[in-house]
A and B are shown apart, each in its own frame.
Chain A
Amino acid sequence: MDKLSGGEKAASSRLNRWVDPSFTELPGESFAVSRRRKAVSSKAEVKKPRKRAGEAGSLQPPTPSLLRECAHRDQDESWVDRYSPRSQAELAVHKKKIEEVENWIKVHTNTSKGGVLLLTGPSGCGKTATVKVLSLELDLRVQEWTNPSNQEPYSSSQQEWRTNGLSFTSQLTQFQDFLLRANKYKCLKMVGDGGATDRKFILVEDFPNQFYRQPGSLHDILRRFVKTSRCPLVFIVSDSLSGDSSSRCLFPKEIQEELDIGSISFNPVAPTTMMKVLTRISTLEAGKSAGRMCVPDLAVLETLCSGSSGDVRSAINSLQFSSLPDTSLEKGLLRKDRHGTTLGKAVSRTNQRKKRSKQKKDQEEEQAIGGKDASLFLFRALGKILHCKRGKQEDAEVVECPPGPPLPSHLSHHHREALLVDPEYVVERSHMSGEFFSLYLHQNYLDFFSEVEDVDRASEYLSDADLLNSDWTSRSTMGYYGSSVATRGLLHSNSQQVSVGFRPLHKPNWLLVNKKHRENGLAAQSLFRSFCLTPLSLQTELLPYLAKLTNPLRNQAQIAFIQDVGHMSLRRLPGRLKLEALTDKEPAQPEGDSEEEEEQKVESQGGVEEGLPESQPQPRTSQDLLEEEELLIEDYNSD
C-alpha cells in the first residue's frame, strides 16, 4: 500500500511540484519509512519519545550543513510537524490543564498500579501534543497502539498461511495482546537508547474499528486490563459534534465510574494562545526564509485564528498555506495557465489568494482557506440564546442591521438593543432540528427570566412555534420559521435581562414524559381490557379509584401498574423526573420527534439487537479469554 501511494505521488509530482511528498529528499527518509513499516507490522510501536520527530528533520537550531536542505524543504514540510511543541511553554493548552494531566501521569507512573485516563476535546486542541510533551519532560516511554493494516492481501496468501500454520487474528485480539504485553513486559533495552527509563505509559489514540460497533468488547478488555494493570493507559478521543459521539459511545458514564477512569476534557484553544502560537511560527519562518516569504500580517493571523475555531492544527496548516511564497508558486502556475494546462482548482485558489492579499481579507473568503466549520456545542448554543447578549448603543460591532429610525412612542416598549448573535445562525450551528432546539430552550428558559409578564410572552412564542411545527406536511418548510419564532421570541420577550451567573442547563423532560404518557396509556389499555372502558374513563376514573379500593386484582402486573400510575403521592415533590443536567460538551441526543419515528426506531433497535449475535463475533466470555492469555504467555516464553 505504501509503495502504491508512493508511486502515485511520484507520478503526480512530475506534473506539479507543489504536491511533492514531504519526505522525498529527507536524509532520514528511508529510515523513517522503514520505521513506520516496522511499526505497522509489529503492531506495537515502541519508540523513544520524540526520537522520530528529531530524525524527521525538525532540528532546532539547524546545523549549517543542514541549512540548505532545510531551506529547500521549507515549502514542503508541514509546519505542524516542524513546530510541534517541545516544552510545556510552547503548548497551546491552558497551564492548569497541562498540570492536571501531568499530575495524573506522575501519580500513576510512580505507583505500580496503573490507571486509565481519558482525554477528550475537539480536534486540534493539543491533546496528543500535551501527552507527547509531558512524556518528553517526565522522561517516560510512550507505547502507542496503531491499528495494523492487513499484512497479507487476501488472494495470494490464503494458501500460504494455511500451509504455514499461520492464523488470522482479528484486530480485536491483536489489540488485546498489545495491551497485555505492553502492560506486562518492559521495553527492550536497545543500545542507542541511552539511559531510558523503564517507566512508561500506553497510549491509544487509534481505536480498532470493532469497538465503534461494539463498545462492549472494549469494556470487557478494559475491565480485565484494570484488574491486572501495572502501567497507566491513556486514551485520546476527539469530541465530535454529531450525535454519535465516540467518547460517549466508547466510554459511557457507567464504565468510567466502574473502572475509575480519569477523564480530562480539553477546551478549544483560546484565541490569545492561538495568536501567540501563530505569531511565533510566522516570525520564525520569516526569519528563516530571509524575506523570500510573504509574512502574513497581524490581521491575517487574526482572521486565521477566528476561522479555525480553536483548532491549532488547522490554523497552522492554513497559516502555512496562506504564506506560501507567492512569487514562485503563482508565477509557475500562471505560466502554466498561459500554456493552456488546466490546473483549474489550483489556479482559482491562487487567484483567490492573490485577490485576498490585495484587498485585505474578506472574512467569508478567508474561511475558504482552511477555515473550520464553526459549529457550536449545544451547551454554548443554548447559552447564546438564553443569555441574550445585546449590544450597547455605542458598540459598533453588532451583527444586526444598523439602527433604523426609532420606534414610535406607542411601540417604544418593544425597543431592544441590537442582538450580538444571529439566532438562526446559532440554531443552524447547533446541528439540531429547530423543533428539538426549541424543546431545549423551553426546558431552560425560565431560569433566565425574572418577570412573569416576560415569561408570559416567551411562552406564547414557544406555543406559536409549536403550532407552526405541528403539521407534518409543511414541517420541512415551517421548521425554520418555528425555530426562528421560538428563538427570537425568547430573545425579544426577555426585556429585563438580569445578569445571571452560571445556570446549569438541563435536558428536556418532555420526550420522556410524552413517552411515559403514551406507554402508560397503552399499558393501562392492555392490562385493564376486561373492564371495556374507553381510555379516557379508564385513566381518569377507574384507575385512580382502583388504587383506593381493596379489590383483588387479577395479576401482578395490574397491581404494579396501579401502584405506579394510580397513586399520586401528594406530599412529596414530584421526584419522578430527575433533571438531567446538560454537560458542556454533550452533543444532541438522538431525536425522536414524531411518535411514529420514535416507535420505528424502537423497533429497529430491537431488531438490531436480535440480529447482532449472528452477524457479529460474539464477545467472548471471560473464561476463555483467560485461557487464551495463558497460552500466549507460553508462546512468548518459548520464543
Chain B
Amino acid sequence: MSLWVDKYRPTSLGKLDYHKTQATQLKNLVQCGDFPHLLVYGPSGAGKKTRIMCLLRELYGAGVEKLRIEHQTIVAPSKKKIEINTIASNYHLEVNPSDAGNQDRVVIQELIKTVAQSQQIQSSTQREFKVVLLTEVDRLTKDAQHALRRTMEKYMSTCRLILCSTSTSKVIGPIRSRCLAIRVPLPSTEEVCNVLTSICKKEGLLLPPELAKNISEKSGRNLRKALLMCEACRVQQYPFSADQDVPETDWEVYLRETANAIVSQQSPQRLLEVRARLYELLTHCIPPDIIMKGLVTELLSNCDGQLKTEVAQMAAYYEHRLQLGNKAIYHLEAFTAKFMAIYKKFMEDGLDAMMF
C-alpha cells in the first residue's frame, strides 16, 4: 500500500486537477516533439514534479514510468570519489546535484556529458534527445550554475534540461534566460479541498467539507502536506468528524512549545533549555533555516505590533548569518537571546508604563 500522495498522482497532463490552462499549454509545447530547456519553479507541494513527469510521459509514452534507482560514482579531477544516486528511465535521468555538496559542479558536468554523448539508438521511433531533470537547482553552488550554463549550450542537440527549483532568486541570470520558465503556483484552498474530496471518494471515505477546508488551511495549501495530513486524519479517527483535530508534525508542535518557552521566561537558564530543544530538533533532521523560520513565525504571533518589525529585522539578520556561518547553533541561540532581551525590555517598559 503506497501513500495517497503517490497512489493518486496524476500521470498525464490531461488528468491534472488544477492549473488546467497551464496543462494545455504544456501539452501544446511538446506537441511538435521538441521543447526548449525548462525551468520549473514554484513552492513546495504545488505539483512541479507531477507536471514534469506528465510532460515526459506525453513526450515518451509510458516507458518513462519504468524507473530504476542507480548509484553512480563519479571521480572528480582531484581524484575524490563522489557518490550520487540517480533515478532514471530509458529516456530521462533525474538527479539532485546538491547531494554532492561542494562537488556539485563535477556531478553536473560529468553526468550531463555521459547522458548527452550517448545517442539514442532508435532515433526513428523515439525522440533524438534525452532529458536530464535537475532538482533543487536553487541549492546549486555558483560554480555549478556557471558550469551548467556552458553545458546547456554545448549538448543542445542531444539533451534537454528540466530544472526544478522552489524559487528563481538563487538561479543565476544566464540560466534563467536560457530556459523557458514555468511557474507552478500553489493550488487555491478550494482546489486542495476538491482534490482531497475526490481522493477520499476513491478510497471509499466520506470527507466532511469542513474538515477538508480545515486541512487545506492547516497545510498552507501544500498539496503533499494536505494529503499526508488527510491520511493521518484517517488513521487518527474514522469516520471523520467535521471538527476533529488535524494532526500536525511532531517537530512543529515541538517548535511551538519551544517558542512558548522563550516567551514565558527570559533567563540564561531558560536559554539553556531552549538550546537543548534546538539540538533536539537538529538531531531530528530539521534544517536550521526551517527552525529559524518556524521560530520566528511562532514568536511573531506572540509579539505586540511594535515589536514585530524589530523581531523580523533581527530574524533576517541572523538568518543571513546562518547562511554565511559554519555552526548554526551560534546564530539560532544568538537570535533567541536577542529576542529574550528585547522582549524582556518591552515587558518591563510596559510594566513601568502601567505603574505610572
Q: Mark A464-499, 1 if CB is under 8 A from B, else 0.
A: 011101100000000000000000000000000000
Query: Which residues in A have their C-beta under 8 angstroms from that of B85?
Result: 525-526, 529
A389 to B192 alpha-carbon distance, docked (Å):
62
* Residue contact B94 to A532, C-beta cutoff 8 Å: yes
* Residue contact A539 to B286, C-beta cutoff 8 Å: yes
Pick the interface stretch among A265-273, A348-356, A390-398, A452-460. Answer: A452-460
A596 to B217 alpha-carbon distance, docked (Å):
42
A514 to B325 alpha-carbon distance, docked (Å):
14
Quick one: which of B153-201 are within 8 Å of A by CB?
none
Name A509's contact: one of B6, B279, B321 (CB within 8 Å): B279
* Residue contact A536 to B325, C-beta cutoff 8 Å: no
Quick one: which of B1-31 are within 8 Å of A by CB?
1-3, 6
Query: Which residues in B have their C-beta under 8 angstroms from that of A435?
Result: 326
Q: Is B96 an interface residue (CB 8 A)?
A: yes
Q: Is A565 an interface residue (CB 8 A)?
A: yes
* Residue contact A541 to B224, C-beta cutoff 8 Å: yes
* Residue contact A531 to B6, C-beta cutoff 8 Å: yes
Closest beta carbon of chain A to B257's beta carbon, Å: 7
Q: Is B338 an interface residue (CB 8 A)?
A: yes
Closest beta carbon of chain A to B210's beta carbon, Å: 21
Q: Is A446 an interface residue (CB 8 A)?
A: yes
Closest beta carbon of chain B to A322's beta carbon, Å: 48
Q: Is A540 an interface residue (CB 8 A)?
A: yes
Query: Which residues in B have their C-beta under 8 angstroms from that of A535?
Result: 96, 99, 136
Query: Which residues in A have their C-beta under 8 angstroms from that of B213?
Result: none
Q: Is A550 an interface residue (CB 8 A)?
A: yes
A573 to B254 alpha-carbon distance, docked (Å):
11
Q: Is A368 an interface residue (CB 8 A)?
A: no
Closest beta carbon of chain B to A328's beta carbon, Å: 61
Classify chain B's interface size: 35 or more
Closest beta carbon of chain B to A146's beta carbon, Å: 48
Known: A466-B327, A536-B287. A570 touches B344 (CB 8 A): no
Q: Which of A462, A466, A470 has the most CB of B within 10 A?
A: A466
Name A470's contact: one of B222, B269, B283, B326 (CB within 8 Å): B326
Query: Which residues in A have their C-beta under 8 angstroms from that of B281?
Result: 568
A539 to B341 alpha-carbon distance, docked (Å):
32
Quick one: which of B296-335 are within 8 Å of A by CB?
318, 321, 324-327, 329-331, 333-334
Residue in B closest to A539 when the chains form the complex, CB atoms: B285
A584 to B96 alpha-carbon distance, docked (Å):
47
Name A525's contact: one of B99, B286, B290 (CB within 8 Å): B99
Q: Is A304 an interface residue (CB 8 A)?
A: no
Residue in A closest to B256 when the chains form the complex, CB atoms: A570
* Residue contact B325 to A467, C-beta cutoff 8 Å: yes
Query: Which residues in A have their C-beta under 8 angstroms from that of B325?
Result: 463, 466-467, 470
Quick one: which of A95-146 are within 8 Å of B by CB?
none
Query: Which residues in A have their C-beta under 8 angstroms from that of B45?
Result: 537, 541
Closest beta carbon of chain A to B136's beta carbon, Å: 5
Query: Which residues in A have their C-beta under 8 angstroms from that of B338?
Result: 456, 459-460
Query: Which residues in A have their C-beta under 8 angstroms from that of B346?
Result: none
Quick one: which of B125-174 are within 8 Å of A by CB?
135-136
Closest beta carbon of chain A to B203's beta carbon, Å: 13
* Residue contact B341 to A452, C-beta cutoff 8 Å: yes
Closest beta carbon of chain B to A413's beta carbon, Å: 15
* Residue contact B282 to A466, C-beta cutoff 8 Å: no
* Residue contact A446 to B268, C-beta cutoff 8 Å: yes
Quick one: which of A284-305 are within 8 Å of B by CB?
none
Query: Which residues in B have their C-beta under 8 angstroms from that of A544?
Result: 249-252
Query: Which residues in A have their C-beta under 8 angstroms from that of B287?
Result: 536, 539-540
Known: A566-B250, A577-B276. A453 touches B232 (CB 8 A): no
Quick one: which of A530-586 are within 8 Å of B by CB?
530-532, 534-537, 539-545, 547-552, 565-568, 570, 573-574, 576-577
A524 to B267 alpha-carbon distance, docked (Å):
36
A469 to B6 alpha-carbon distance, docked (Å):
44
* Residue contact A513 to B282, C-beta cutoff 8 Å: yes
* Residue contact A455 to B340, C-beta cutoff 8 Å: yes
* Residue contact A466 to B250, C-beta cutoff 8 Å: no
A513 to B99 alpha-carbon distance, docked (Å):
20
Known: A510-B327, A540-B249. A548 touches B276 (CB 8 A): no
A574 to B329 alpha-carbon distance, docked (Å):
16
Query: Which residues in B have their C-beta under 8 angstroms from that of A230?
Result: none
Q: Is A158 an interface residue (CB 8 A)?
A: no
Query: Which residues in B have their C-beta under 8 angstroms from that of A577?
Result: 276, 279-280, 283
* Residue contact B1 to A552, C-beta cutoff 8 Å: yes
Q: Mark A426-439, 1 if CB is under 8 A from B, else 0.
A: 00000000010001
* Residue contact B324 to A576, C-beta cutoff 8 Å: no
Query: Which residues in B have their C-beta under 8 angstroms from that of A513?
Result: 279, 282-283, 329
A458 to B271 alpha-carbon distance, docked (Å):
13
Main secondary structure of the interface of A (DSSP, over half): helix
Closest beta carbon of chain B to A441's beta carbon, Å: 11
Q: Is A201 an interface residue (CB 8 A)?
A: no
Query: Which residues in A have their C-beta under 8 angstroms from that of B330?
Result: 442, 459, 462-463, 465-466
* Residue contact A550 to B44, C-beta cutoff 8 Å: no
Q: Is A449 an interface residue (CB 8 A)?
A: yes
A352 to B325 alpha-carbon distance, docked (Å):
49
* Residue contact A453 to B280, C-beta cutoff 8 Å: no
Residue in A closest to B229 when the chains form the complex, CB atoms: A545
Known: A467-B325, A536-B44. A517 touches B283 (CB 8 A): yes
Q: Is B62 an interface residue (CB 8 A)?
A: no
Known: A513-B329, A565-B284, A574-B280. A547 touches B250 (CB 8 A): yes
Quick one: which of B36-58 are within 8 Å of A by CB?
44-45, 49
Query: Which residues in A have their C-beta under 8 angstroms from that of B218?
Result: none
Known: A452-B340, A517-B282. A510 touches B329 (CB 8 A): yes
Query: Which residues in B have their C-beta under 8 angstroms from that of A540?
Result: 249, 251, 286-287, 290
Known: A531-B6, A539-B286, A545-B228. A568 touches B251 (CB 8 A): yes
Query: Which residues in A have their C-beta under 8 angstroms from that of B277?
Result: 574
Query: Which residues in B have their C-beta under 8 angstroms from that of A375?
Result: none
* Residue contact A549 to B290, C-beta cutoff 8 Å: no
Q: Is A75 an interface residue (CB 8 A)?
A: no
Name A446's contact: one of B3, B271, B282, B344 (CB within 8 Å): B271
Residue in B closest to A547 when the chains form the complex, CB atoms: B250
Q: Mark B246-278, 1 if CB is under 8 A from A, else 0.
A: 010111111001000000001111011001110
A460 to B332 alpha-carbon distance, docked (Å):
10
Query: Which residues in A have their C-beta under 8 angstroms from that of B69?
Result: 529-530
4 smallest beta-carbon distances between A and B, as pairs: A544-B249, A568-B250, A456-B341, A545-B228
7 cross-chain CB contacts under 8 A? A446-B268, A463-B331, A541-B222, A544-B249, A544-B250, A549-B235, A551-B231
Q: Which residues of B contact A (CB under 8 A)?
A: 1-3, 6, 44-45, 49, 69, 85, 87, 94, 96, 99, 135-136, 222, 224-225, 228-229, 231-232, 235-236, 247, 249-254, 257, 266-269, 271-272, 275-277, 279-287, 290, 318, 321, 324-327, 329-331, 333-334, 336-338, 340-341, 344-345
Q: Which residues of A contact B (CB under 8 A)?
A: 435, 439, 442, 446-447, 449-453, 455-456, 458-460, 462-463, 465-467, 469-470, 509-510, 513-514, 516-517, 520-521, 524-526, 529-532, 534-537, 539-545, 547-552, 565-568, 570, 573-574, 576-577
| Further contacts, 20 of them, CB under 8 A, given A453-B344, A534-B96, A536-B287 | A435-B326, A442-B330, A442-B333, A456-B341, A459-B330, A462-B334, A466-B326, A466-B330, A510-B329, A521-B285, A535-B96, A539-B286, A541-B224, A545-B231, A545-B232, A550-B235, A570-B254, A576-B283, A577-B276, A577-B283
